[in-house]
Amino acid sequence: MEPYAPVAEQYADFARWSRDESPCFSQWAAGVAEDPDVLALLSQLPQVKQQPNLVFAAARWHGVPAPGPYSGLRDALIGDDGTIRATVLSRSTQTNEVGRLATLTPAFAAIAGGAPLALIEVGASAGLCLYPDRYTYAWSTEAGPVTSGQGPRLECEVAGGFPQRMSVPRVEWRAGIDLNPLSVTDDDAMAWLANLVWPEQDDRRERLRVAVEVARADPPALVAGDLLTELPALVERAAGQIGPAGRVVVFHSAVIAYLETDDRVRFHEMMTDLVERRRCHWVSNEGPRVLPQVSASGPSEPDGQASFAMGVDGQLVAWTHGHGRSMTWLAPSVDAA
């Protein structure tokens, strides 16, 4: 999704993108895209606050039934006394879907090569994705099942030459950066994260509940600040924590889209420099238009799929489902054991 596109385009695009994942949200988005009164209302919001996920979540937070008809959403938005608007302005879309670890962890394992990792998540929200070593992964590949790890189970359908041996890497240090980091011990913040999960997706809500329990057992270190200014110092801190035998990995998923175009370029340049100077490795997992140089470095997006482009050190290695349910592995079939 492109949060800086014109509002009608955002909602029309979201209607297509969510069709197979949430019939309710797809219907709502299609309704908004063709409703001049609601479009005019949403156009009064700051541009980054116009996005469907945030507006729909705020409406649900204040009682709009979902699944439910578009008329319920429309009536709530048109008749809003400022309550829904205040929630849109004060909250953010920080779902941080832990299911993405099923697609991110193979990249972490390929980088680790058996060495311990120090993980830094950019746009960490509550830091739920900082625990790849606390889950069991079941990858269904063209050559048969691949399973690794210990803990709650995450499943993923895989196409391509996926490694047939995969060891979940050892994480010795973990931290995150976010403009508004959330505490896993804050019940209100965790309720908002659950509210961000799309209405029909009970499996994701249950996965979120489990992920919060995992993180509460060992709460992550989170830095409040701008990733463009805070990240280099945190990379150096991680290097000091992990030592020469370990590897520092900076990663992010569905985050850089929220930067304006110039800042996306700055981020790409900063990460390229850090990688070239061997200060860290970089795993990116974003929509194909967000970091176009990464997307263009490998085969094009599979036909008919709404995918994220996952890169390692700026090179495309996989096309991934936005919530981690599937992936097309593009990297060489080298065992990461």
Helix, strand, coil distribution of the chain in percent, nearest 5: 45, 20, 35
CB 55 within 8 A of CB 88: yes
Q: What is the pLDDT of residues 198-233, one digit of tens each?
A: 999 999 999 999 999 999 999 999 999 999 999 999
Radius of gyration of the chain from its Cα atoms, rounded to whole angstroms: 20
Closest CA to 248 of 132, 108, 134, 103: 108
CB 245 within 8 A of CB 116: yes
Q: What is the pLDDT of residues 28-40, one digit of tens each?
A: 999 999 999 999 9
The answer, yes or no, to whether residue 332 has pLDDT greater than 70, is: no
Q: Which residues make Cβ contacts (< 8 Å) with residue 174, sequence separation at least 6?
A: 118, 119, 120, 121, 127, 130, 131, 220, 221
Q: What is the pLDDT of residues 157-199, one digit of tens each?
A: 999 989 888 899 999 999 999 999 999 999 999 999 999 999 9
CATH 3.40.50 fits 98-329, yes or no: yes
Q: What is the pLDDT of residues 99-130, one digit of tens each?
A: 999 999 999 999 999 999 999 999 999 999 99
Token duo for residue 223: 């830095």
The pLDDT value recorded for residue 1 is 61
3-state SS, 112-144, equals HCCCCEEEEEECCCCCHHHCHHHCEEEEEECCE
Domain boundaries, the chain: 7-90, 98-329
Q: Which residues make Cβ contacts (< 8 Å) with residue 281, sequence separation at least 6?
A: 111, 247, 248, 249, 250, 275, 312, 313
Bridge partners of residue 316, in order along the sequence: 311
CB 211 within 8 A of CB 217: no
The stretches of the chain forming alpha helices (DSSP H) are 7-17, 23-33, 36-42, 52-61, 70-78, 83-90, 101-112, 187-196, 202-216, 227-242, 261-276, 292-295
Token duo for residue 185: 């011990």
Closest CA to 124 of 252, 229, 266, 238: 252
User: Residues of the chain with pLDDT > 90: what percent?
Assistant: 86
